[in-house]
Amino acid sequence: MLCRNFRLTKLHRPQGLRSYSSAQNINLSDIRIVEVGPRDGLQNEKTVIPPAVKIELINRLNRTGLRHIEVGSFVSPKWVPQMAGTAEILTKMERVPGSHYPVLVPNMKGLEMLLRTLEAHPVPAGAPPLTDEIAVFTAATDAFSQANTNCTVAESLARLEGVAQKARDHGLRVRGYVSVIDTCPYAGQVDPAQVKNAAAALLGMGCYEVSLGDTTGTLNWLKTGNLLASFRDALPTHKLAMHLHDTFGQALANIATSVSFGVTTFDASVGGLGGCPYSPGATGNVATEDVLYFLQRPSLPADAPDLASVAAVGEWISQQLDRPNASRTGKALAARRERDSTAAESA
């Protein structure tokens, strides 16, 4: 049945969007994946996951070749019980030299908890530190900030400035997050200027990188391009990352658009784990397996994360959580393994 009132909308290419021929020259060695499954991926689970399971998840991820794994949060277990036990995780998990294991700290109290943990568990000379990085977060809207941290964006940034300074004084790198960069579940459509101002403030307080979070997953390729184009002259692209939820199945298209603007760092979560307790209806982060498959080329660097290994971890943690694997790539590879196994048994 034809809809007589249907009109084809003309899509205007965002200024600054590179041609596909330019984007396809970027290979996996140019892209950095920040694995957020153990932290952002698990924080919205309905049941509390034992630290031993989280430690095993991190250890398995370590063996895949992923080298930037967010391992937990120093937050009150009263508010986010799924993040309880982060100190234990830091002291018991395997650590790979050259890898980074950031932890989220929402405020000065969280940072002091981390610093006490580091002081109580010194590592031998030459051994990798328990962690060398923290992550701090704010939002693009006051409404989301109030729901998440009970303060306005301005108040949040004022608190974080001291946290960032103290962390850097103790030799810790600082990464920033800006939530709800497109649609806020409480305030609606977000003005790109609010995103730009929050990101600029985080960079100004010493964050080496700011990850822009599509918390509700409402971006598409066109809106992603328009957003990045709106502040491409105000913010250094090489210091931006994208944190994309896949609520409407648009995350990979948004990654392609972001790459065309020169963004090369992307947060992803094994098995598509995730959600947000302060964003009703938001589904998980883009799956690490899907991102790896999307970016793969015939010839990959020797140190690239191994797709099959990551997919196996996604299948394992999904089973541990008794939930469906949200990675399309992970499910496809699992089906292929099942088919090959059945064929081998029948031969």
**Per-residue pLDDT reduced to its tens digit, 245-269:** 999 999 999 999 999 999 999 999 9
Name the token pair of 12. Answer: 């205007």
Q: Is a pLDDT exceeding 60 seen at residue 286?
A: yes
Per-residue pLDDT at 97: 95
Q: Is a pLDDT exceeding 50 seen at residue 301?
A: yes
Per-residue pLDDT at 26: 58
Tell which phi-psi region holds residue 217, choosing left (phi > 0), alpha (psi between -120 and 50) or beta: left
**CA–CA gap between residue 286 and residue 134 (Å, rounded):** 22
Q: How distant is the alpha carbon of residue 125 from its chain centre?
A: 31
**Per-residue pLDDT reduced to its tens digit, 188-223:** 999 999 999 999 999 999 999 999 999 999 999 999
Residue-averaged pLDDT of the chain = 90
Per-residue pLDDT at 345: 73
Per-residue pLDDT at 4: 41
b/e sequence 299-309, b meaning 16+ C-beta within 10 Å: ebeeebbebeb
**Per-residue pLDDT reduced to its tens digit, 62-110:** 999 999 999 999 988 777 878 889 999 999 999 999 999 999 999 999 9
More confident residue, 83 or 52: 52
Q: Is a pLDDT exceeding 70 seen at residue 22?
A: no
More confident residue, 3 or 292: 292
Per-residue pLDDT at 338: 84
Per-residue pLDDT at 13: 61
Q: Which of 87, 83, 49, 211 is nearest to 138 (CA)?
A: 211
Per-residue pLDDT at 96: 96
Q: Which of 221, 224, 236, 238 is nearest to 181 (CA)?
A: 224
Domains of the chain: residue spans and CATH = 20-346 (3.20.20.70)
Q: Is a pLDDT exceeding 90 seen at residue 283?
A: no
Per-residue pLDDT at 79: 78
Confidence of residue 278 (pLDDT cuts 50, 70, 90): low
Listed in sequence order, the residues at least 6 apart from 60 whose beta carbon sits closer than 8 Å to its beta carbon are 312, 313, 316
Average pLDDT over residues 296-302: 67
Q: Which of 205, 206, 155, 197 is nearest to 178 (CA)?
A: 197
Q: What is the pTM of this model?
A: 0.91
Per-residue pLDDT at 279: 59
Confidence of residue 1 (pLDDT cuts 50, 70, 90): very low
Per-residue pLDDT at 35: 98
Please, where are the H alpha helices in 150-273? 153-169, 192-204, 221-230, 251-260
b/e sequence 32-51, b meaning 16+ C-beta within 10 Å: ebbbbbbbbbbbbeeeebeb
Packed helices 221-230 and 251-260: angle between N→C axes, nearest 10 degrees:
40
**CA–CA gap between residue 30 and residue 129 (Å, rounded):** 26
Number of helices (H), then strands (E), belonging to the chain: the values are 12, 10
Q: Is a pLDDT exceeding 80 seen at residue 299?
A: no
Q: Is a pLDDT exceeding 60 seen at residue 170?
A: yes
Name the token pair of 69. Answer: 């794994």
Give the range among 213-217, 306-310, 326-330, 339-343 with minimum mean pLDDT.
339-343
Per-residue pLDDT at 344: 72
Per-residue pLDDT at 201: 99
**CA–CA gap between residue 209 and residue 70 (Å, rounded):** 14
Average pLDDT over residues 26-39: 84
Q: Which residue numbers are catalytic?
A: 276
b/e sequence 202-225, b meaning 16+ C-beta within 10 Å: bbebebebbbbbbbbbbbbbbbbb
Per-residue pLDDT at 272: 96
Q: Is a pLDDT exceeding 50 seen at residue 307?
A: yes
Helix (H) or strand (E) holding 346: helix 328-346
